[in-house]
Amino acid sequence: MINEQYICKNCILIDGSFGIELNSEGICNYCEDPTYKTTNWWKTQITEEMKENGLRDWNSVIELMRSHQKEKKYDCIVGYSGGKDSTALLYTVIHDYGFNPLAVTIDSGFIPDIAFENIKDTLKKISVDHIVIDGAKETFRKLYQWVFTNQDSNDLTLTRNLCDNCGDLVHSLVVREAMKHDMDIILFGYSPDEIRRYFYEIPQHEIEHDWKPSFINRESFTEEDRKHYTTPEDFENHTVPRILLPYHVIDYNEEDIIQLIESKNLVKKGNSNTLKTSCHVIAAALFYDLNRFGALPYSLQFAELIRQDPSIRKKWLITLKHLTPMIREGKFNESGVNFTLEKIGLSREAILSIVQNKVNQDPNRDKIIRNINLF
């Protein structure tokens, strides 16, 4: 049995983790107040007008791409990770909209075999040009190493910190590829719950200015590492591509997405699970964060899905019950955890020692320790 005394009755967030408290009725801050924000998660307030404007713009983009179809070899770039959402988006762009995209996969060197298996299976079923960009593997490794060894916050999770910094590098590499082909549109399959940083479109001023982290100028990084990031000078003779997130404005249902890609034999049954296709470094980061904060950072994202569709709460609660003990012991994607730690030069013992010291100094220590063993 799951002890639900400390779990929000509406979603799955746990009292005492990530700045979350339950009120007298057992409801968490996020469910009680949609404007509630913490370092790790806040919901971009999306009005009906924003959705309508986004959908209107998306339809305009579709028409614009159709009007220029014969002018360029490719109509757009689709960022393709091998996960369920990018697979479904790639299929939709080709078969529903009739476009000829260039599928671009960024290989950080930490991508699980299942994601590459999904890519291989999908490319057998649909005709699309596909490239793998793997020239920044060492930069990704050093980035991960830096974040792991310099994580020092009672609030920000390692997973969030890694994902934000990794995402910025991925986006930069895809933008550089778009510029090579003189393409104006880049699409990513971010699901509707992935709205902490962006809604529908990544602002162009971020593309030009905001992605290079301050630590990239440290001695451990080289000019070769820094050149992977876009700079304002890159756009002096180029149009800044638009980066759009269509699933924020078009119909999206997770079960429908899975049913689509499995029924079309794009991926094998079971291979669409997000936790199976997430990169290995995330498995190691989850091991760190669960032992550090007493909960899984992904629960913040899953909780947002539940608020959009309360019927899936039971499924995600059961998922937490099964996953939490495995992640706590480093047994979830154990090979991925071991691979990551070896690559960045850390051991489990070193991480647990670091984490224990931070927990002991955390004002929220008692609740963290309680929550670590809640499931």
Say if 135 falls within a structural domain: yes
| pLDDT score of 112 | 92
The CATH number given to whatever domain includes residue 125 is: 3.40.50.620
The amino acid present at 161, given as its one-letter code, is N
Q: How far is CA 53 from CA 48, 49, 93, 124, in A?
A: 8, 6, 20, 36
At CA 280, angle to CA 322 and CA 137, rounded to 5? 170
How many domains does the structure of the chain reveal? Answer: 1
CA pair distance 298, 300, nearest whole angstrom: 5
| pLDDT score of 194 | 78
CA max distance for the chain: 63
| pLDDT score of 152 | 82
Please give the structure tokens belonging to residue 26.
């057992």
166's CB contacts (< 8 A; 6+ apart) are 108, 140, 143, 144, 279, 281
Per-residue pLDDT of the chain (375 residues), as tens digits, is: 566 889 999 999 999 998 899 999 999 999 999 889 888 887 666 788 988 999 999 999 999 999 999 888 999 999 999 999 999 999 999 999 999 999 999 999 999 999 999 999 999 999 999 999 999 999 999 999 999 999 888 888 999 999 999 999 999 999 999 999 999 999 999 998 777 788 999 999 899 887 899 999 999 999 999 999 998 888 988 889 999 999 999 999 889 999 999 999 999 998 988 878 889 999 999 999 999 999 998 898 889 889 888 999 999 999 888 889 999 998 988 999 999 999 999 999 999 999 999 999 999 999 999 999 888
Please give the structure tokens belonging to residue 298.
């992904």
Say if 193 falls within a structural domain: yes
Q: How far is CA 138 from CA 145, 156, 161, in A?
A: 10, 25, 18
What are 158-162's contacts with CB under 8 Å, separation 24+?
158/285, 158/288, 158/289, 158/292, 159/282, 159/285, 159/286, 159/288, 159/289, 159/297, 159/298, 160/39, 160/40, 160/41, 160/297, 162/281, 162/282, 162/285
Q: What is the residue-wise DSSP string for 252-279? A: --HHHHHHHHHHTTSS-TTTT-HHHHS-
Q: Return the bridge partners of 187, or none.
A: 78, 244
| pLDDT score of 138 | 97
Provide the CB-side half-sphere exposure for 237 (13 A, CA). 1
CA pair distance 190, 212, nearest whole angstrom: 21
CA pair distance 280, 335, nearest whole angstrom: 8
Residues 107, 133 contacting (CB under 8 angstroms): yes
Say if 282 falls within a structural domain: no
Say if 291 falls within a structural domain: no
| pLDDT score of 171 | 96
| pLDDT score of 256 | 94
CA pair distance 366, 359, nearest whole angstrom: 9
Say if 358 falls within a structural domain: no
Query: Does the reported pTM lie above 0.85?
Result: yes
CA pair distance 181, 178, nearest whole angstrom: 5
Say if 268 falls within a structural domain: no
Query: Which domain range does residue 91 map to?
Result: 48-254
Say if 154 falls within a structural domain: yes
The closest of 69, 92, 68, 72 to 80, measured between CA atoms, is: 92
Backbone torsions φ then ψ of 89, nearest 5 degrees:
-65, -45
SS3 297: coil
Residues 147, 161 contacting (CB under 8 angstroms): yes
Say if 199 falls within a structural domain: yes
